[in-house]
Copies of this chain bind each other. A is one copy, B any other.
Amino acid sequence: MAKIADLYYKADPFQIIEEGFDPNYAKVSESIFSLGNEYMGVRGYFEEGYSSDSLVGSYFNGIYERAEVSSQNYKGIIDYTEFMVNSVDYFYTKVSLDGEQLDLAKVKINQFRRYLDLKTGVLKRSFIWELQNGKQIEIMFERFLSMSDACMAGQRIRFLPLNFDGKLNVSLGLDFTRPHYMTGKNYFTCVEGSAEEDSAAEKNSLTEEISKAEENSMVEENSQAEEKSLALEDSAKDDSLFLIGTTKNTGQKIASMCKIDVPNSATGNIEKEENKIAIAYQIELKKQRETVITKVICNLVCKKKDESEYKKFNVRCEEKWNNRANFHYDQLLAESIMWWKEKWKESDIVIEGDELNQQGIRYCIFQMHQTYHGTEAGTNIGAKGLTGEAYSGNAFWDTETYCLPFYIFNNLKAAKNLLMFRYETLEEAKLRAKELDCKGAFYPIATISGRECCSLWQHSSLQLQASTGVAYGIWSYVKLTNDVEFLHQYGIPMLIEISRMLVTRGDYNADGTKYGYYGVMGPDEFQMMVNHNCYTNVLGKLTLKFTYDVMKQLKEEGLSEQEIVNRYQVSSEEIEDFKKKADDMWIPYHADTLLFEQHQGYFDLPHVDVDAIPIEEFPLYHHWTYDRIYRNDMIKQPDVLMMMLLFNSNFTIDQLKANYEFYEPRCIHESSLSPSVHSILASQLKKHKEAYQFFGFATRMDLDNYNRNTDEGLHTTSIAAAWMNIVYGFGGMRADGELLSFTPSIPETWTSYSFRIGYRGNVILVEVSKKEATFQVLEGSDVLVKIYENEYTLDQSKLKLEIPC
């Protein structure tokens, strides 16, 4: 089924531009113009309100709510789930002029232009509002989330009356009243939920100030608070607001505070509603004179329902609140732009001769950095990042298999933090293993807090790839960074627990000749309850072997058995058992055809000609009865091929070719991650045309709304795959072998492209033109790599190699 681009935004190498507003794209644009800084994310909604279809979404990484799942009362099936909850609209704004309310669903506007600058992370929107009385005013909204100080955000509004003097009404505030879109419910309590309730005895004057402020819905105005009408000074004045929302079931807190700078001529009134606070200003406008309002926002969160955490949170709130005089829009923005400048220096990909893909890949890189960059431990990457509510903000095994490579080569701190998330949730994974009658740790297939959130047992109980994915992540990270300290302190405890699970979840077949996993669902979610899924068995084998090798290495380094027991609570019998199960693991491989069988019996399944399925039957989940999807050889996404990408150097090119040619025609690519994997392997097989076809929408999946569901949020993990598609695909980089290696090729339509990767403290630039590939260390020292089967030591000089035909 062909996916068709829906070109709406203007092409530009470093900006995403919407010229003229089409209401049909309102929600898609809200997703596209999402801002994020890992800590929080906000959709690109019209902050002044939009009475037509809109998802006013504002999310914090790790702030979630719970929903009961109607349990089927079987052991191992979860009874409640968690979802990232829609929270405070800190850009809340209302604008009215002469009794007319600014609402782009209703008023007349022209010269609408919205643009996101990928270089700086600033989103701007401008238009001319033509009132019914003929007045015209140009308005520009600007916003950013700080990358350098993640709790901070800025909003700036400029008003330019073109043909009149007059009074404008503007309200700015903090709004916790928005419902969670997926459930229609609001999950916040703003008055009673303050953290100090149970610690009154220990309050000092500052916490008292906060709690008093909370009780008064947190209004402070220039330290000279007046409830009803503000006495305004001659100089430009600033007003401040402060509201704390507490999630109803999880007891997490968001403190949202802001300082508003308004012109000295403005008069303001406080507006209070339940869960909302704002100041309504009246501002004098002068014809052809620009009036600017800025709002600097600080959002602090407390993720744990815990007295001592609440206290610490209060202290942090106090500090920020007391320091609000130092909230400066321009300074904050300048620091954030500096952050972006550094990142682009390390991560940019330049494509010449393909403006759309140039824009697309930069948008992907921008989103990857926005979504995650290692700000703090304890968070992960939701399937939609922080841009929407689909997939409930849950992180999947995509993190380790699709996202981690990007971070390993672009932001090591972020890469490590992603793995630390798994370490910090190891106890949850151990509980989950117990629920599933296993020893060790069984990592959740979907999670926010570490707890399994997938209510479909056929996924949450049968998919082992979250657990083996963590092991793969540790293996990749350690291999590429030599971070032995991480391995010893965090990696080994995880590897041991995962291995324990692997040797208890597996079974031997009837005659004891084959060890492997029964009743599983591999990466391909169209084959359920299968035995000896090749991917699962191979990943299981390599995980067990890796754990064994690591432990053996420790011994070789002189650690005694007893020291190992003391440090890791694992006996040598157990370690030997890991090896035995790894050795006994059965891999369904057919030497005659070079084919790996996706699972035992897969080759005998009924064949479906996927090209013959009518286009109107897609997506199949909506048009085919649930069980029918599972009864044939059609696959949803790469499974054997995924394995061959992850451990690429383990397979010969002939094996890859045979399996690619067998499985690709059976794949319907219903996962957005599927085409990139196929594109990368097609490049390796020199099927360049096919590689470029699969690449097709990788970089522009959301910009061109290929799946027609960008309105729900961005396909964040696909965005990671788009990066891999260029670096691993056309660049031919492989990181799983002895040496980092490259086999660059270039798509026919491109003039040249280049990418940069960070590797062991060095930044390597790879430039590929029609004829030659150039390698250069931009920062750092010599690096030994393999290029087209030969080894080279890269340094700061340019190594030029001809591209073979």
- Chain A interface residues (CB < 8 Å from chain B): 69-70, 72, 74-77, 435-437, 456-457, 461-462, 507-511, 514, 518-519, 528-529, 531, 600-601, 603-607, 621-628, 630-633
Are A601 and B603 in touch, CB under 8 angstroms?
Answer: no
B436, B514, B621, B628: the one within 8 Å of A625 (CB) = B436
Are A457 and B626 in touch, CB under 8 angstroms?
Answer: yes
In the bound complex, CA of A511 to CA of B606 (Å): 8
- Given the complex, which residues of B lie within 8 Å of A626, measured CB to CB? 72, 74-77, 457, 461
- Given the complex, which residues of B lie within 8 Å of A624, measured CB to CB? 75, 437
- Give the oligomeric copy count: 2
In the bound complex, CA of A143 to CA of B633 (Å): 62
B74, B437, B507, B628: the one within 8 Å of A437 (CB) = B628
B69, B436, B529, B627: the one within 8 Å of A436 (CB) = B627
- Given the complex, which residues of B lie within 8 Å of A630, measured CB to CB? 519, 529
Given A508-B606, A605-B518, verify A622-B528 contact (CB < 8 Å): no
With both beta carbons as reference points, the residue of chain B lying nearest to A460 in the complex is identified as B627
- Given the complex, which residues of B lie within 8 Å of A507, measured CB to CB? 606, 631-632
With both beta carbons as reference points, the residue of chain B lying nearest to A531 in the complex is identified as B601
Are A625 and B461 in touch, CB under 8 angstroms?
Answer: yes
> Which 10 A/B pairs are nearest by Cβ-Cβ distance?
A76-B625, A507-B606, A74-B626, A70-B70, A529-B529, A519-B631, A518-B631, A461-B627, A437-B625, A75-B625
- Given the complex, which residues of B lie within 8 Å of A76, measured CB to CB? 625-628
In the bound complex, CA of A606 to CA of B69 (Å): 32
Are A627 and B456 in touch, CB under 8 angstroms?
Answer: no
A176 CB, min distance to chain B CBs, angstroms: 28
In the bound complex, CA of A735 to CA of B457 (Å): 43
- Given the complex, which residues of B lie within 8 Å of A75, measured CB to CB? 621-626
- Given the complex, which residues of B lie within 8 Å of A457, measured CB to CB? 626-627
Are B531 and A528 in touch, CB under 8 angstroms?
Answer: no
- Given the complex, which residues of B lie within 8 Å of A69, measured CB to CB? 70
Are A509 and B605 in touch, CB under 8 angstroms?
Answer: yes
- Given the complex, which residues of B lie within 8 Å of A531, measured CB to CB? 601, 605
A367 CB, min distance to chain B CBs, angstroms: 28
- Given the complex, which residues of B lie within 8 Å of A77, measured CB to CB? 626
- Given the complex, which residues of B lie within 8 Å of A518, measured CB to CB? 605-606, 631-632
Are B437 and A510 in touch, CB under 8 angstroms?
Answer: no
In the bound complex, CA of A621 to CA of B76 (Å): 11
- Given the complex, which residues of B lie within 8 Å of A601, measured CB to CB? 531, 600-601
- Given the complex, which residues of B lie within 8 Å of A74, measured CB to CB? 621, 625-626
- Given the complex, which residues of B lie within 8 Å of A633, measured CB to CB? 510
A119 CB, min distance to chain B CBs, angstroms: 41
With both beta carbons as reference points, the residue of chain B lying nearest to A77 in the complex is identified as B626
With both beta carbons as reference points, the residue of chain B lying nearest to A515 in the complex is identified as B606
